[in-house]
């Protein structure tokens, strides 16, 4: 069982290998962030086999390692990503005939092109150290660069022996390459744009990557020699291949479909040994039990004042503040941040004609039956993801379940798909962090949110305009989802104010809160239950009898002890008086920032008797997890479906337990869980 415990996966590869480029391409195609761990040819065998858990072999690379899976070989990443990605991003066609051809061509290029290209190119360049050594050193660890520099001759002999170059003369391999190019040209001769038809598939990518060493496309993201550095014979042949119809096709595939390489500078920084030790100590001292005790104390203290910052804790005070939305306003807290990110949304507005107009429109877009439709999406997706995890007996609840479920809900119900699912997750996480959790006004967090906001705005603006044109041409062509309902509403009388940007702002506000809130809450619920054996057994029993209402009770009680949002913030422009259950009146100064402490309020013994006791029979209406009053969470009814349904899918597994290492305890980037692995029989 893998004990991998990094926030992003790792791709272990041969930096020169053309076939390894296919795996990078597929990961970049899906927007999946990964650590690009490259090794020099020959020296890649040990690291690749170690990562794959294989004792021998020279062609197990590339190896893709995540917290809940390890896949290897040329088709490993394809087999891993294909059943997990959104249908529109799949590289194997749905049509059976095209699918069969794509799979046949993939195998054909693997067996008939990969080795011949490698043998042909290596046979010609290995004798030329000045051409080959720089290529082998590019992007690899320092110790490998030193070995290549000092022992190039020995390494070249090892590579030649491994490829059996003495048995496969270059001219014979060149003939094989030409035969494959001829077949590609025959397929394209009927005018088709791609090898299997009118859309790009993995067959096109496989041909392009395997042919890359004899074409040298500028977009090749592996390590390659320059045309000028090649020996004369190889340079002449590369130019001939580039001019051939098959070569032109492969170069076009690279040019039009190769995404940028995963930016290694943007990956979250992994904590060092000292940081991990400090985290373990602070986690033990200030973990959930500590905060639960603190919440219990806070639930007995009505109010604390620190200058112009006020913390209200008692249930009655908290709800009073949240109900008096004209005295305790929100625009000073959220509206400015929303405006900077161009996602101004009614939940960041106080009472006004604009708020009423946009809120009413959104409410009218919600139809009877929507919640059950969402439940269907959640169940279908969660069960499919869990089925994929069954063979390995483990799943990362964040990356392989919670986030996937929510991006499918966003695509199928809200109607917002994004360029790919991983990019959508990154956009919405960055925006949510800056809008609602960047209390220190971190410049780095804000800059990431600005970039995400720019990209999301560009994507949505294009989508909305495209769908408007479609609606005008064929009103029945648009499927039913929330975004398309808003676009249809633009045509209704009296909605002249509903321009494209208003649609974009409001759909943005809805989706920003939906993904991060639910994906985070699912982890927190399971994390809490796994530390409560009795509650876990009872929740498991409820999940197995499909009693989702009872699972919801366990989830909300777990969130009381392990909250996703301990407090919400309001602003008092004028001095305000608040009255708590003890009969005392307390004054809040003008210009105060008021923290309505939701978590201590849910430990108030007057509303939650025996608050330290885990009691899933409490009245659901008392919980404040998703706010209260005028600005309570718009998606609270969706949350009440997503959280228990996804948790139930996990709870139904036999012998459910934490995964090993850090990933089993939960890894975080700031306030967001990035990984949380559970295992099962």
List the one residue out of 343, 339, 340, 331 whose CA is nearest residue 506.
343
541 and 516 Cβ atoms separated by less than 8 Å: no
Which strands make up the sheet holding 568-572, listed edge to edge? 303-306, 309-312, 592-596, 568-572
Reported as type and span, the H/E element at residue 447 is helix 443-473
pLDDT of residue 640: 97
- Does one domain contain both 361 and 456? yes
Encoding tokens for residue 478?
């648009």
Query: Residue 74 contacts by C-beta under 8 Å, 6 or more apart in sequence?
Result: 19, 20, 22, 23, 59, 62, 110, 114
In a domain, 3, yes or no: no
* Domain range enclosing 106: 10-265
In a domain, 2, yes or no: no
- Does one domain contain both 663 and 613? yes
pLDDT digits (tens, 9 = 90+) for 560-580: 999 999 999 999 999 999 876
Identify the sign of the CA torsion 378, 381, 385, 387: positive
Is pLDDT at 95 greater than 70 in this prediction?
A: yes
CA distance 653 to 543: 10
In a domain, 254, yes or no: yes
**What is the residue-averaged pLDDT of the chain?**
94
Mean pLDDT of 373-388: 97
299 and 316 Cβ atoms separated by less than 8 Å: no
CA distance 549 to 543: 9
pLDDT digits (tens, 9 = 90+) for 1-28: 578 999 999 999 999 998 899 999 999 9
For helices 129-137 and 152-162, give the axis angle rounded to 10 degrees: 90
Q: Residue 152: which CATH number?
A: 1.20.1050.130
pLDDT category, 607, cuts 50, 70, 90?
Answer: very high
Percentage of the chain modeled with pLDDT above 90: 89
Q: Residue 393: which CATH number?
A: 1.10.630.10
Looking at 232, 265, 298, the residue that finishes a domain is 265
3-state secondary structure of 588: strand
pLDDT category, 639, cuts 50, 70, 90?
Answer: very high
* Strand stretches in 5-54, DSSP E: 10-14, 35-39
Instruction: Give ∠ CA 13-17-18 in degrees, rounded to 5.
Output: 120
Instruction: Give ∠ CA 404-405-407 in degrees, rounded to 5.
Output: 65
185 and 90 Cβ atoms separated by less than 8 Å: no
- Does one domain contain both 308 and 259? no
Mean pLDDT of 584-604: 93
Q: Specify the number of domains making up the chain.
A: 2
Looking at 231, 265, 299, the residue that finishes a domain is 265
pLDDT digits (tens, 9 = 90+) for 519-539: 999 999 999 999 999 999 999
CA distance 655 to 618: 27
How far lies 61's CA from each of 56, 121, 359, 599, in Å? 12, 19, 53, 49
Mean pLDDT of 358-387: 96
* CA 610 to the chain's CA centroid: 39
In a domain, 47, yes or no: yes
Looking up tokens 């496309």, which residue turns up?
217
List the one residue out of 465, 496, 511, 483 whose CA is nearest residue 343.
511
- Does one domain contain both 250 and 343? no
Encoding tokens for residue 617?
């029979």
Mean pLDDT of 144-155: 96
Burial (CB count <10 Å: 0-12, 13-18, 19+), residue 188: middle
- Does one domain contain both 237 and 305? no
Encoding tokens for residue 34?
């990964």
pLDDT category, 553, cuts 50, 70, 90?
Answer: very high
CA distance 526 to 561: 12
- Does one domain contain both 219 and 344? no
The runs of H, that is alpha helices, within 244-400 are 245-257, 273-285, 288-298, 315-323, 336-340, 353-365, 370-390
- Does one domain contain both 474 and 434? yes
Looking at 207, 239, 265, the residue that finishes a domain is 265
List the one residue out of 402, 393, 439 whose CA is nearest residue 421.
402
Longest dimension (CA), the chain: 96
Using H for helix, E for strand and C for coil, what is the string for 194-210? Answer: ECCECCCCHHHHHHHHH
CA distance 457 to 359: 20
CA distance 521 to 565: 9
List the one residue out of 616, 614, 567 whose CA is nearest residue 317.
567
In a domain, 278, yes or no: yes
CA distance 220 to 210: 11
Preceding peptide of 64 cis, ω within 30°? no
In a domain, 5, yes or no: no
Count CA atoms within 13 Å of residue 76 on its CB side: 23
Instruction: Give ∠ CA 40-44-45 in degrees, rounded to 5.
Output: 150
In a domain, 214, yes or no: yes
pLDDT category, 301, cuts 50, 70, 90?
Answer: confident
3-state secondary structure of 523: helix
pLDDT digits (tens, 9 = 90+) for 222-262: 999 999 999 999 999 999 999 999 999 999 999 999 999 99
- Does one domain contain both 283 and 259? no
pLDDT category, 279, cuts 50, 70, 90?
Answer: confident
CA distance 397 to 673: 10
pLDDT of residue 585: 84
Percentage of the chain modeled with pLDDT above 70: 99
Query: Residue 213 contacts by C-beta under 8 Å, 6 or more apart in sequence?
Result: 18, 117, 118, 121, 224
Length, in residues, of the chain: 681
The runs of H, that is alpha helices, within 126-201 are 129-137, 142-150, 152-162, 170-188
Strand partners, 679: 394, 657
340 and 613 Cβ atoms separated by less than 8 Å: no
Encoding tokens for residue 509?
């506000």
pLDDT of residue 284: 66
Q: Is the pTM of this model over 0.85?
A: yes
- Does one domain contain both 164 and 306? no
- Does one domain contain both 286 and 252? no
In a domain, 380, yes or no: yes
- Does one domain contain both 593 and 666? yes
Encoding tokens for residue 400?
């392989």
- Does one domain contain both 244 and 288? no
Count CA atoms within 13 Å of residue 139 on its CB side: 19
């Amino acid at each position: 069982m893998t004990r991998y415990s990094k926030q992003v996966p790792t791709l272990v590869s041969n930096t020169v290998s053309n076939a390894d480029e296919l795996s990078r391409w597929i990961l970049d195609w899906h927007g999946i962030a990964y650590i690009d761990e490259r090794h020099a040819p020959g020296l890649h065998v040990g690291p690749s086999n170690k990562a794959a858990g294989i004792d021998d072999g020279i062609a197990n690379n590339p190896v893709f390692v995540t917290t809940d899976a390890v896949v290897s070989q040329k088709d490993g990443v394809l087999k891993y990503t294909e059943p997990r990605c959104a249908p529109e991003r799949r590289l194997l066609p749905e049509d059976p005939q095209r699918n069969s051809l794509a799979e046949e061509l993939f195998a054909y290029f693997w067996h008939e092109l990969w080795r011949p290209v490698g043998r042909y190119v290596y046979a010609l360049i290995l004798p030329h150290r000045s051409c080959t050594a720089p290529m082998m050193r590019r992007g690899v660890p320092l110790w490998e660069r030193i070995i290549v520099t000092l022992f190039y001759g020995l390494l070249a002999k090892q590579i030649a022996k491994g490829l059996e170059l003495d048995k496969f003369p270059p001219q014979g391999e060149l003939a094989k390459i030409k035969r494959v190019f001829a077949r590609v040209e025959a397929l394209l001769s009927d005018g088709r744009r791609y090898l299997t038809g009118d859309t790009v598939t993995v067959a096109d990518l496989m041909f392009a990557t395997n042919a890359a060493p004899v074409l040298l496309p500028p977009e090749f993201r592996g390590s390659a020699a320059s045309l000028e550095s090649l020996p004369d014979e190889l340079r002449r042949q590369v130019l001939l291949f580039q001019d051939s119809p098959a070569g032109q096709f492969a170069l076009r595939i690279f040019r039009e479909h190769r995404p940028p390489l995963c930016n290694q500078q943007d990956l979250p920084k992994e904590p060092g040994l000292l940081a991990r030790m400090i985290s373990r100590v602070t986690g033990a001292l200030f973990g959930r039990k500590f905060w639960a005790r603190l919440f219990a104390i806070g639930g007995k203290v009505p109010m604390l004042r620190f200058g112009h910052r006020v913390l209200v804790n008692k249930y009655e005070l908290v709800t009073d503040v949240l109900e008096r939305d004209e005295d305790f306003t929100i625009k000073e807290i959220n509206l400015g941040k929303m405006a900077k990110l161009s996602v101004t949304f009614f939940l960041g507005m106080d009472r006004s004609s604009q708020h009423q107009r946009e809120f009413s429109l959104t409410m009218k877009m919600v139809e009877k039956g929507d919640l059950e439709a969402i439940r269907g999406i959640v169940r279908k997706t969660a069960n499919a993801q869990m089925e994929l995890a069954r063979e390995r007996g483990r799943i990362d609840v964040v990356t392989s379940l919670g986030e996937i479920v929510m991006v499918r809900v966003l695509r199928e119900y809200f109607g917002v798909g994004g360029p790919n699912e991983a990019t959508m997750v990154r956009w919405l996480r960055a925006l949510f962090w800056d809008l609602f959790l960047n209390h220190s006004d971190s410049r780095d967090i804000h800059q990431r949110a600005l970039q995400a906001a720019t990209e999301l705005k560009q994507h949505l603006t294009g989508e909305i305009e495209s769908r408007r044109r479609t609606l005008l041409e064929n009103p029945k062509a648009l499927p039913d989802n929330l975004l398309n309902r808003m676009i249809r509403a633009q045509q209704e009388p009296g909605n002249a104010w509903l321009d494209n940007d208003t649609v974009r702002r409001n759909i943005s506000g809805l989706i920003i809160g939906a993904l991060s809130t639910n994906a985070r809450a699912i982890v927190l619920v399971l994390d809490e239950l796994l530390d409560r054996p009795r509650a876990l057994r009872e929740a498991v029993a409820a999940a197995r009898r499909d009693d989702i209402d009872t699972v919801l009770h366990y989830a909300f009680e777990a969130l009381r002890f392990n909250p996703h949002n301990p407090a919400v913030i309001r602003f008092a422009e004028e001095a305000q008086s608040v009255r708590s259950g003890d009969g005392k009146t307390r004054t809040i100064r003008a210009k105060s920032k008021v923290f309505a402490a939701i978590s201590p309020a849910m430990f108030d013994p007057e509303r939650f008797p025996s608050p330290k006791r885990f009691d899933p029979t409490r009245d659901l209406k008392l919980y404040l997890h998703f706010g209260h009053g005028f600005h309570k969470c718009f998606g609270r009814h969706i949350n009440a479906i997503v959280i228990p349904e996804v948790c139930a899918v996990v709870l139904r597994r036999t012998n459910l337990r934490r995964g090993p290492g850090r990933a089993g305890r939960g890894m975080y980037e700031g306030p967001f869980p990035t990984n949380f692995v559970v295992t099962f029989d």
